Amino acid sequence: MWPNSEKQKKIVETAKSIAKKIAPTAQYHDFNATFPVEHFRLIKEKGYLKACVPEKYGGLGHGITDMVLSQYEIGKACGSTAVAVGMHHQVMGTESESDQWPENIRSTIFNDVVQSGAIANNIASEPELGSPRGGGRPSTSLTKSSNNEWILNGRKTWSTLSPVLTYAMTLAAVEDGSGDVAKIVVEMNSTGVSIEETWNSMSMRATGSHDIIFDNVRVSENDFISRSNPKNRTSISPNGSAWFPMLLSGANLGIAHSARLYAIKFALNRRPTGSQAPISDIPHIREQIARMESQLLRARRNLFSCCEDWEKYPYDRDDLLPEISIVKVQTIEAAISITDLAMRIVGAVGLDKDKPLERYFRDVRSGISNPPIEARALEQLSSHLLSTIDETT
């Protein structure tokens, strides 16, 4: 059962304390599509931003299981806040596990997170490109202006955390004839960086996922994290690959938990006119409650156990990666099903925008479009299976 260590218990308790404070304002920010700056002020004060930073840099050194458990707790209170801060954690956690950044960038960002509460996110999606996982070349471009300087131009969409972002880990096409695509670090206070407040989604309305515009932003060679060529892909370690899907899953399952709890409390207290008993006594309602609970129990077990396996068996991560993708897909589907059942139990009252259930109902649906999407997860699983089964035996 979880938490199963003192270190794990401590970070989960921190997450619970954050959740308790932010829950009362979650609905306001969702309704108005405003970014909850005060939520992130509290998150910074609690030291939660440095949770995944390695201890050698002054961070807390938490692994993926600790953080998914914690994100589950914050998701119960505010899905937008959980998903948004999860974007920062996945950047920190992925790098902590994979160790891919140049040391100058790694030490600078980790130290800034620990000392100043800096916030980072990967900024890759574009209006025409969509998700870069589709394999397209970014329109955002880097052109060389001198031996050590480049000029960055472009627009990025779905830039979660943009109102409080310190570092944008940006994907851009290198326009020097190489055909390379680069990931660079852009400081958000750089000249030429601006935010256009475009975010007006049905789900996760308070994530601040606005457009970021780069207008002749000057960057140096020292800001390059990596360069690669899509036409000559090389195999890379799976280390770090689980952080995004698992943290996202934890946040969404936390939302489903709250939907299930709301529906149960509603059923226990709802007594239609002329009835002496609550609707929780109706066999059909009890069946739906059991369905919610069984799906939540199974999804929790799959998610948390999968995270533990990822940490315990680092040499098996190539084999675990397709499972990670499928667990993400199944967790999101479970969250959607649980909120559907909750809505059926509550009925038309659940559609009231003054009640939280319609927010839960909307928010979990955003996970469908977060990578890995179902089609790619299924292809990844089938490819892995077909390549490992010996047809002669």
Backbone angles phi, psi at 181, to 5 degrees: -120, 135
In the predicted model, what is the mean pLDDT of residues 214-228? Answer: 96
pLDDT band (50, 70, 90) for residue 129: confident
* Rounded Cα gap, residues 334 and 256, in angstroms: 8
**Residue 372, preceding bond cis, omega within 30 degrees?**
yes
* Rounded Cα gap, residues 107 and 265, in angstroms: 48
Degrees to nearest 5, angle at CA 31 with 300 and 28: 80
Q: Are 171 and 132 in contact (CB under 8 A)?
A: yes
Q: Are 97 and 307 in contact (CB under 8 A)?
A: no
Write the Ramachandran bin of 349: left for phi over 0, alpha for psi from -120 to 50, otherwise beta.
Answer: alpha
In the predicted model, what is the mean pLDDT of residues 143-170? Answer: 96
* Rounded Cα gap, residues 76 and 325, in angstroms: 23
For the chain, which residues make up each domain, given as ranges? 6-119, 123-231, 243-388
In the predicted model, what is the mean pLDDT of residues 171-183? Answer: 95
Centre a 10 Å sphere on the Cβ of residue 38 and count the other Cβ atoms it contains: 12
Instruction: Write out pLDDT tens, residues 341-389.
Output: 999 999 999 999 999 999 999 999 999 999 999 999 999 999 999 998 8
pLDDT for residue 233: 72
Distance of CA 156 to the CA centre of its chain: 18
**243-388 CATH fold:** Butyryl-CoA Dehydrogenase, subunit A; domain 3 (1.20.140)
* Rounded Cα gap, residues 350 and 76, in angstroms: 17
Buried b (16+ CB within 10 A) or exposed e, 339-348: bbbbbebbee
* CATH class of the domain defined by 6-119: mainly alpha
pLDDT for residue 130: 59
The model carries a pTM of 0.95
Q: Which amino acid is at 224?
A: F
Helix (H, G, I), strand (E, B) or coil at 155: strand
pLDDT for residue 132: 63
Helix (H, G, I), strand (E, B) or coil at 216: strand
Structure tokens at 3: 């938490």
Instruction: Write out pLDDT tens, residues 297-324.
Output: 999 999 999 999 999 999 999 999 999 9
Least confident of 13-17, 92-96, 235-239, 347-351: 235-239
Backbone angles phi, psi at 203, to 5 degrees: -115, 155
Instruction: Write out pLDDT tens, residues 136-149.
Output: 899 999 999 988 89
Rounded percentage of the chain residues whose pLDDT exceeds 90: 90
Backbone angles phi, psi at 227, to 5 degrees: -135, 140
For residue 185, pLDDT over 80 is answered with yes
For residue 234, pLDDT over 70 is answered with no
Which of 2.40.110.10, 3.90.226.10, 2.102.10.10, 3.10.20.70 would CATH assign to domain 123-231? 2.40.110.10
pLDDT band (50, 70, 90) for residue 275: confident
Q: Is 25 exposed, middle or buried (0-12, 13-18, 19+ CB in 10 A)?
A: middle
Helix (H, G, I), strand (E, B) or coil at 189: coil
pLDDT for residue 14: 98
Q: Of 93, 159, 155, give the one whose Cα is nearest residue 311.
A: 93
Helix (H, G, I), strand (E, B) or coil at 345: helix
